[in-house]
A and B are shown apart, each in its own frame.
Chain A
């Protein structure tokens, strides 16, 4: 049993390795005839190299779309089982799902379900988040009364004051703008760099079979 599992894991790892490197090479070298010098066949070669990557990418998109369908089916089955067990909320969820689908099919031009229910609910949740953040902001120093908490409060207040359209607050607005453009953008760039480096590392781990998703 264990031997078969090892064989299966090895096949999965090798498949992932081959597919990953094929896609990577195809994306790196494809559609770039300059890499092949003055060879008259360079353009055709570059185009051919791009084909496997494009095909794999399209296959992945199809699989992702299929996974959404499977996910929805799984969700429906799960809540159907729960509803059979007497769970009221699962029944409401299934009924809402059926109503939304039926509404769209029977009344394709009718949009009030989304605009009258979904939009207000999501907007209300966003507004609740705003209230929660302000309430939390008012309590920062009760939980963390140190220099960092104080700094956080000061930055929040300065940025909020700077966003107010009062001419009297122009100096604060200028400072707030500096905060947003320099420190905040520096943080944003750091996040971008981190994402890029993280993507490279995760990609390399996956390609080299070090990622657990390939071995599992």
Chain B
């Protein structure tokens, strides 16, 4: 088994995806990116076993982050996969909703790449 951590990032912003890809690949992660919850589920249905952790935005078209988390937690194979929310939102009710849906944690944008790195290593070990 490879020591490289494989992260799936889900964010509708192309600019944010570029920022995340640069931050994570420079820290040694393997990165796959999807533009919303629907695209993430499509990719995960074929290659989900390769993913160690998922980082998802909340506000996205087609399927938002809450919908994605609920859909994944409804599948046995993703029941234990860490899912971190990365969002500009920081309200307690949104966090409570994510927690209730099965999220592992919440990171507020703008993200600090070192803190994100630390959180990813913590939830995958």
A interacts with B: no
Q: Enumerate chain B interface residues (CB-CB to A < 8 A).
A: none
